[in-house]
Amino acid sequence: METARVLALRHVHVVMAVRNMDSGRKVKDNILQDIPTAKIEVMELDLSSMASVRKFASDYKSSGLPLNLLINNAGVMVPQFMLSQDDIELHFATNHLGHSVSMQRRRKVINVSSEGHWFLYSEGIQFDKINDDTRYKYGQSKLANILHANELAWRLKEEGVHTTANSLQPGVVVTNLLRHRSFLDVVINGIDKYMFKNVQQGAATTCYIALHPQVKGVSGEDFSDCNVAKASSMAEDRELGKKLGDFSLSLTDPK
Ligand SMILES: NC(=O)c1ccc[n+]([C@@H]2O[C@H](COP(=O)([O-])OP(=O)(O)OC[C@H]3O[C@@H](n4cnc5c(N)ncnc54)[C@H](OP(=O)(O)O)[C@@H]3O)[C@@H](O)[C@H]2O)c1
């Protein structure tokens, strides 16, 4: 909600793609209470379902709404192995595949990744074990976010297209993402607000990339704390990025 609020405040016509329309409409009403002139729409999208992603893309096209900036923010972090509606490990399906399929190439793109992309296996993404219930990792999907933005940035540059693709690591933010934490985590929850970022701080880097003139024309970078940051060396590996692209296509191509 915070990113949508800030963009609306800056006169961006915002379309929120949400899986729960009731919650989405409530967020829209809250933003409108704050900013009565906000232009804001809500559309249904369940990133964990390829059918929903394709329906969203088609609905969006027929809506006639412009699409100049795509922020791939939605994501999950679940405590146990789960499969998506298409039988793909839930982190990989929701956090990467759903976004990559809905992504149009000639738009400015911002992928919200995570510091979690550092915590991985030595080969980064274990493509042959994506659905292995003992090997799945949230971090694989978050590495995929950076690789995907980088690959897009490289291709845009090669094709001479003047638009940008970047990623970011928001830091540890007290949000619903952490809702599945253990009892011990809940006990220390009280001190979270002193150690971690609040929601406004957590959304700041996304808003910075989306809006700040300093970032105009910058592409293929990873950001943190409103600055260009260093992602892991695996995130810079173009071969891995290409492999991810081929693998993602093999899972999502409707044939
Ligand atoms: N919080 C952190 O410390 C942290 C750290 C690093 C990176 N991140 C990244 O930041 C991004 C935002 O997370 P957050 O912290 O703001 O968590 P959040 O409060 O749980 O928000 C995640 C959003 O994603 C939506 N979502 C989940 N599954 C979806 C699906 N299948 N289809 C459509 N929407 C779906 C959720 O919808 P519902 O409201 O319906 O659940 C929710 O609105 C994520 O990509 C996360 O990986 C967060």
pLDDT digits (tens, 9 = 90+) for 31-47: 999 999 999 999 999 99
Q: Is the CB of 172 under 6 A from ligand 1?
A: yes
Phi and psi torsions of 121, nearest 5°:
-75, 165
Q: Is the CB of 76 under 6 A from ligand 1?
A: yes
User: To test the ligand 1 pocket, which listed residue (43, 95, 176) has its Cβ within 8 A of the most ligand atoms?
Assistant: 176
Nearest to 248 by CA among 192, 76, 240: 240
Note if 138 is an active site residue. Answer: no
Residues (pLDDT < 70) of the chain are 102-106, 177-194, 255
User: What is the position in ligand 1's atom list of the atom closest to the CA of 72?
Assistant: 45
Q: What is the fold, at CATH topology level, of the domain defined by 45-252?
A: Rossmann fold (3.40.50)
The residue whose CA has the least distance to atom 7 of ligand 1 is: 114
Rounded to whole angstroms, the maximal C-alpha distance in the chain is: 52
Count of CB atoms situated within 10 Å of the CB of 1: 15
* Residue length of the chain: 255
User: What is the position in ligand 1's atom list of the atom closest to the CA of 74?
Assistant: 24
Q: Is the CB of 49 under 6 A from ligand 1?
A: no
Q: Is the CB of 46 under 6 A from ligand 1?
A: yes
Q: Is the CB of 73 under 6 A from ligand 1?
A: yes
Phi and psi torsions of 85, nearest 5°:
-60, -25
Distance 38 CA to ligand 1 centre (A): 23
